[in-house]
Structure 1
Amino acid sequence: MRAELPLRLARTAVFAAVCVTLAALAHAVGGGSTPAPWAAALGVGTVFTLALALGGRERSTATINIALVCAQLGLHELFGGDDGTGYVVAHLHGRGFGNDVGMLLAHLTATLLTGWWLARGEAALWATLRRLVRPLVLRWPTPLPSAHPAAPVIVRVRVVPPDPALRHSVVRRGPPLPA
């Protein structure tokens, strides 16, 4: 079952909103500042565009989690600094690596839980659509015959006279008789 444009837009909007909100909250709670409005808008636009391209059909939990993790990494880089330096440059140099591993694990855990939550919503949405659409498709009326009926088929039969040499032969068809 493929998703038409209104359904694709709704699913994409939910995915983009969850993805950018999660990245902004995780960045703010994890010790960074809140992202600039232009960065959040750019993140929503980018995630929305990529998710719209992938949203044509139902996706598995693994696919949703991979897309969410990749989007979170990209958004975290975008939200990392206002001076153009990304998250890796601003956070990994100058401070110990131990603090960053804890923050990375916290972000990854939150992302995977959110991905699982989105995947369950995706499965519920598609199950509901299957239950609603299939009965409608099965009850769909059969197409009416066209206004111009097809011309009748003309069959010409030629009678072949039997061969006079085979006039006295007997044709017995069927299985042999039991002995």
Structure 2
Amino acid sequence: MAHVFAGGSVSAPSTAGALALAFVAAFAMSGRERTLMAILALLASLQAGLHVLFSLAHAASPAEAIGHVHSGLVPGLGMLVMHGWAVGLTSLWLARGEAALWTLLRRLDARLCRVLIVHATPAYTSFFMPSTIEPEVLRSAVLRHAVSRRGPPRLVTATSS
């Protein structure tokens, strides 16, 4: 869309090629948590690849080429700045979102394992018989950041010399 807003045109085959290129790159990076630098490098190379793809697919007349931001494959300064902002912001958003998602998945995995281990019922237990297992006694949680400065303030005396 940004290429069209900048004055370029995008054909259906180049759009399909762009989607295929983005999908292959994302699929190759999937499966584990990625760092900000890995995401930044991938997005920068994708931006360059998509820029070349759209520039080669753009059939411009000489009158359009004058009004377009760049001619051929060499981008102008404004386009480099816009590509840089797009890569930087998108990679920051993706890195933070991915970190939050993987943290959530790790926590859910740990909790799900605890639930399955604690509440696993043996195969020989009849569902018609009431359970005789008593629930565990709840205990108070230890406060992690407890402040132990309780009581009245210390008595301060002033000595005069």
TM-score bracket for this pair, using the shorter chain length: 0.5 to 0.7
Gaps of 5+ in 1: 1-24, 145-179
Give the structure with higher Rg (CA).
1
Q: By how many angstroms is 1:59 displaced?
A: 0.5
2:43 is aligned with 1:68: yes
Match of 2:17 in 1: 42
Identity of matched residues, %: 39
Give, in whole Å, the separation in 2 of the partners of 1:121 and 1:83: 34
2:93 is aligned with 1:117: yes
The 5 Å alignment of 1:1-179 reads: 25-33=1-9, 35-82=10-57, 90-92=72-74, 100-141=76-117
Match of 2:150 in 1: none
Gaps of 5+ in 2: 60-69, 122-161
More helix by share: 1
Equivalent pair of 2:52/2:73 in contact (CA under 8 Å): no
Q: By how many angstroms is 1:139 displaced?
A: 3.4
Match of 1:9 in 2: none
Equivalent pair of 1:26/1:107 in contact (CA under 8 Å): no
Q: Which runs of 4+ in 1 moved over 4 A?
A: none
CA-to-partner distance for each residue in 1:96-149, whole Å, 9 max, x for gaps?
x7xx012111111122111111111111111211221111123333999xxxxx
* RCO higher in structure (CA 8 A, sep ≥6): 2
Q: By how many angstroms is 1:82 displaced?
A: 2.5
Q: How many residue pairs align between the two structures?
A: 112
Equivalent pair of 1:64/1:115 in contact (CA under 8 Å): yes
How large is the Cα RMSD of the aligned pairs? 2.9
CA-to-partner distance for each residue in 1:11-34, whole Å, 9 max, x for gaps?
xxxxxxxxxxxxxx232223322x
Q: What TM-score comes out, normalization by structure 2 length?
A: 0.59
Give, in whole Å, the separation in 1 of the partners of 2:29 and 2:90: 18
Q: What TM-score comes out, normalization by structure 1 length?
A: 0.54
